Amino acid sequence: MNHPIDIKGKRVAVFGAGRSGRAAAALASREGAFVSVWDQGGSDKFGKLPAGIETHPNMSLADAENFSTDLIIISPGIDTCSPLVQAFAAKAKMIGETEFAARYYAGGIIGITGTNGKTTTTELVSLILKEAGLGGTPCGNYGAPLSEIVLSPEVPAAVALELSSFQLETIEDLRPKVSIWLNFAPDHMDRYPTVEAYRNAKMRIFENQTPEDTVVTRYGEEFGDLVPNVITFSTETSEADFFSDGFTIMQGGRILLDLEAETSLRGLHNAENAMAAMAACMAYGISPSIIPAALHGYAPPPHRCELIRTLDGVEYLNDSKATNLHALQCALRSQNRPVVLIAGGKNKGLDYAPLLSMLGRQAIFAVTFGQIARPLATLFNSVVPTTAVSTLVEAIHTARSLAPRGSTVLLSPGTSSFDQFNGYEQRGDTFRDLVHQLS
């Protein structure tokens, strides 16, 4: 049961003038608070706000000296441990936008966290909830802020709530009926002092769950003694509650979904995302019979192992979002066809040696391009035949000439794009356009 905060007639300061902050300010105003919005940016950072809300641009440490409020609501993109925020937080209680909004949301929450795969899984949960007639709006770290959902004219009966570590840092009572833990790998080390601190922040998704609730997680994950019921998924062992070989999803030996026939999801990591979403929605009480219709034709978000087309029996996947070594490793590990890898881009001084054993197992050829093409080709050649080229268009044509029927050409660069493109999106869009031009 939610416990709304009594803020009528009280002062509420919202930190962050972005979409989450503006939504929280509007919700606090609806609840009768005197609201102010603070941001380190200038006046141009403040979008449209309801009448009567104060704005405080160019927020600084000097402002904290005479600061006074009853409650601080902080947007997820703001570091709660920064000296600036800590100076203000010493004056009043502070909670996050997601926690604040959850106090006013009476529907069911399926919460999703993990280092990789959150957005795809959130979309899949949303589609299943929608097919079940529960609304299922994607929100939180992906989609709309939860405050916007609470303010909407028709509040959905359930939401797919993507939760980053930043949002989970500032929860108090947030309680998903079902929580999904996809995976964990070091990330955001510019914000957290240790890997353990990052993991502990993410594990807060479980802390308010009861025996009536459910955790969905990869088989073999260790969390100690969890209070909720645990459901597992795996692409490695059929001992898990849900198992996939990358082609179908099974529960207890029964096929629930044919990924290749009924969706555009490809790769073992997308099979894991789909299993997690299905398991969570079934734990929520949704019949598995509606899931194929809910996911029919679904394709993952652009640039995340996005299936572009199949040409001459070869699949072309756009994983331009893989701007680091871990993302490239995940993409390689997930493939269930022989891979011709296209990798490269800006030289960020990364050590690719840890990739070699997996590259040797999963790839039959590699093509490198961009600023890092030659040193990467020298390294990759120790485990797989590799060709270095200059541009992405050369890489695509070279990969096509090497790829046999039944294989996958995988663009998973493993580094940023800023040597030749203005971002991973432009790189991925260019790859998509060039692949469609192949004949």
In three-state form (DSSP H/G/I as H, E/B as E, the rest C), the secondary structure along 61-128 is HHHHCCCCCCEEEECCCCCCCCHHHHHHHCCCEEEEHHHHHHCCCCCEEEEEECCCCHHHHHHHHHHH
Q: What is the C-alpha separation between 114 and 352, in angstroms, rounded?
A: 23
pLDDT of residue 235: 93
pLDDT of residue 191: 66
Asked if residue 216 and residue 281 are part of one domain, the reply reads: yes
pTM of the model: 0.80
Asked if residue 113 and residue 80 are part of one domain, the reply reads: no
Q: What is the C-alpha separation between 282 and 244, in angstroms, rounded?
A: 17
The answer to whether position 6 is within a domain reads: no
Size of the chain, expressed as the number of residues it contains = 439
339 three-class SS: strand
10 Å Cβ neighbour count for 81? 12
Asked if residue 428 and residue 355 are part of one domain, the reply reads: yes
Asked if residue 249 and residue 232 are part of one domain, the reply reads: yes
Q: How far is CA 343 from CA 11, 51, 83, 376, 403, in A?
A: 52, 51, 40, 8, 15
CB 11 within 8 A of CB 68: yes
pLDDT of residue 275: 97
- Among the candidates 71, 100, 129, a domain finishes at 100
Would you state the torsion angle of the CA atoms of residues 289, 162, 179, 5, taken in this order, to the nearest 10 degrees? -120
Asked if residue 287 and residue 213 are part of one domain, the reply reads: yes
CB 125 within 8 A of CB 298: no
- Among the candidates 295, 321, 338, a domain finishes at 295
List per-residue pLDDT tens for the chain, 439 residues long.
Answer: 578 899 999 999 999 999 999 999 999 999 999 999 999 999 988 988 999 999 999 999 999 999 999 999 999 888 888 999 999 999 999 999 999 999 999 999 999 998 778 888 999 999 999 999 999 899 999 999 999 999 999 999 999 999 988 899 889 999 999 999 998 765 555 667 788 888 888 999 999 999 999 999 999 998 888 888 999 999 999 999 999 999 999 999 999 999 988 888 877 888 999 999 999 999 999 999 999 999 998 877 788 888 899 999 999 999 999 988 888 998 998 888 999 999 999 988 878 999 999 999 999 999 999 999 999 999 999 999 999 999 999 999 999 999 999 999 999 999 989 999 999 999 999 999 999 999 9
- Count structural domains, the chain: 3
pLDDT of residue 187: 56
Q: Please enumerate in sequence order all residues whose Cβ is within 8 A of that of 385, keeping only pairs 6 or more positions apart, or say none.
A: 364, 365, 366
Which amino acid belongs to residue 225?
Answer: D
Q: How far is CA 33 from CA 8, 13, 54, 68, 275, in A?
A: 5, 10, 12, 14, 43
